[in-house]
Amino acid sequence: MTGPFFAALRFLTIIPVPENWTGGEKGLEKCLPYFPVIGLLIGIAAALLDSALTGVLPPLPAAVLTVAFLIGISGGFHMDGLADTMDGFLSSRPRERILEIMKDSCTGAMGTVAISLVILLKVSLLFSLPSGARWNAILLMPLAGRAAMIAMMVLLPYARSGNGIAAVFGKHSRLHAVWAAFVLFAAGWMLAGWTAIAAGLITIVTAAIFMRWSFLKIGGYTGDTLGAAGEITEAVLPLVFLISACNR
């Protein structure tokens, strides 16, 4: 089963995985269950990087560089999806026009604002967290983001004509979303107990609200909305950790 794992790694990151390791089309069709695993591995790498950075830098620039790593490891595709989604969803246009705007490679005002706010929120939250909570939040953020992507793929129809991204991963099962939630809660419980469980629940609610908005706007999901769901849930999780830290 290494093919599907490497297929997921190649799809979700910029790590140069050789194509012959991925199992080709069959590997992609079976790689969805590995999304939360890849998210967890990215989180471990980011937490280790942040720990090293805070050993030589003040907390703020370390947080900036850690967030830059989280964005860069996916090639910025998820942040680009957030920008395209907000340009379309906040345009007050009908469904077909929204999809056209989202397909446009140019980033508009709403997309620029969305990217800026999410980056500022992530950096400020990580900077404000105590060291232990900061480690836990960083480790869980990419996992929560990939879990949200899986939930959107298995619970919503593909919004564009043709199969598009929906055909890349083969037949979807709702059990994939259950598996992603299990990995999120299991990892969270081992790291931070009830705080992480609460954070996981709130990220799920946030993802559900975003999925509902996406369904109302365009009738389902696209590759852009998957990226947006990932970025939004990644920002919500450390917010819950900070609220918990401030109320102890």
pLDDT score of 143: 96
Helix (H, G, I), strand (E, B) or coil at 221: strand
Q: Please list the pLDDT of the chain residue by residue as tens digits (248 residues).
A: 578 899 889 889 999 888 888 877 777 778 888 999 999 999 999 999 999 999 999 999 999 999 999 999 999 889 999 999 999 999 888 999 999 999 888 888 999 999 999 999 999 999 999 988 999 999 999 999 999 999 999 999 888 876 666 557 656 788 999 999 999 999 999 999 999 999 999 999 999 999 999 999 999 999 899 999 999 999 999 999 999 998 87
pLDDT score of 104: 83
pLDDT score of 204: 94
Measured torsion, CA atoms of residues 213, 216, 220, 224, in degrees rounded to the nearest 10:
-50
Whole-angstrom distance, CA of residue 200 vs CA of residue 212: 18
Question: Is-contact 235 140, C-beta < 8 A?
Answer: no
pLDDT score of 172: 74
Tokens of 179: 């598996």
How many C-beta neighbours within 10 Å does residue 30 have?
A: 18
pLDDT score of 173: 80
pLDDT score of 171: 66
Whole-angstrom distance, CA of residue 94 vs CA of residue 21: 43
176 Ramachandran zone, left/alpha/beta (phi>0; psi -120 to 50): alpha
